[in-house]
Structure 1
Amino acid sequence: MSNLAKLEFAALEISGKNYLPWVLDAEIHLDAKGLGEMIKDGNKTTCQDKANAMIFLRRHLHEGLKNEYLTIKDPQILWSNLKERYDHQKTIILPNARYDWMHLRLQDFKSVSEYNSAMFKITSQLKLCGEKVTDMDMLEKTYSTFHANNIVLQTQYREKGFKKYSELISCLLVAEQNNELLMKNHESRPSLVLPHC
């Protein structure tokens, strides 16, 4: 368990289901340590740098994977072998991410922050698989999935002419918080009921 505390990011699972985020994390951390070249073809590096990269990569592998690749001492060869083994994850993740994107609707969420979280999860998966998702795509997805009861509100937000998704979400979050505050104030004070004359 103490070994887990030392990990900078989650170890690559033997199933490979976390391969794509693992690759990004590994690349970023290797670059930060000055070891990013170790995983590239034809690198001209020192034995010490190769060893440091191998130590880092092996530490972030599932125990079963460590055993399977026990004899590999070159980080570039290990990297290539893992890529051959798991790079097909894109073909698994992409259809699911596209399906989630197609069915993502603002109206299905209880809060703007829940919707925003789902939006970023889906768009991150799409981008990991090489799909391009722009701010305009995200804005249009949000506008077009407002609840039918909020069509006037949707039109008002469109007319504000947001260029960035983050601007729209910030505006929606503020509006949601203000609405919650108004509802709390309304519920905490009984309404004045005037008697009939």
Structure 2
Amino acid sequence: MPKIVDHDQRRREIVDAFLTVVGRDGPAAATSRAIAAELGVGAGALWHYFDSLDAVFSAAYQRVLERTTARILAATGDRRGLAAIDATMCEILPLVRGTLAEAQVVVGFWGRVAINRQLLTGLTDVAVLWGDQLRRHVEEAVEDGELVPHVPTDSLVEVLLCLSIGHQVHAVVGTPLPDADRRLGLVADCLAPWRATAGVLSGHPTGR
């Protein structure tokens, strides 16, 4: 009898191999030959499950977003307001090895999108996904009296997202970055003008 292959499982294994190569050697090293070698198969075997390397990148990008979102939900838990914003940003910013590897995938994918916008078709919009979560937590912070009522919610969310994206890009291109505490401090600096209590303007979010 012919061997029955779980198509979805094989796709997941290919994406896992891709993420392993990127995390170890960077996105430029994630060639079809390198991915196949990680799996112990011939390069041609990949194309039974994906149409192109761009399709592998797209699947890996979606996986990273899903993985990050799951971590955000776990980290925020019962937290709300500023504590939830802090926890969310800690999972997005490239502060540790794991999130740095994810930034490599995300930024590498954006580079491909600049050439082929169709790669975005059917994928999660990170600005909507994480923006909605941050917007909800900003609104909670206003409700709880942590932020002033007239906070420009949409603009503040855009700034936090831009901060995240900017640090991901800088981390990938090798630009020297401030240490993790300072990067988290920048989040506090963005929130500082809208704090309801003047006495809490100093210091950083709790971080991890």
TM-score, length of structure 1 as denominator length: 0.37
Q: Which has the larger radius of gyration?
A: 1
Structure with higher RCO (Cα < 8 A, 6+ apart): 2
Structure 2 length-normalised TM: 0.36
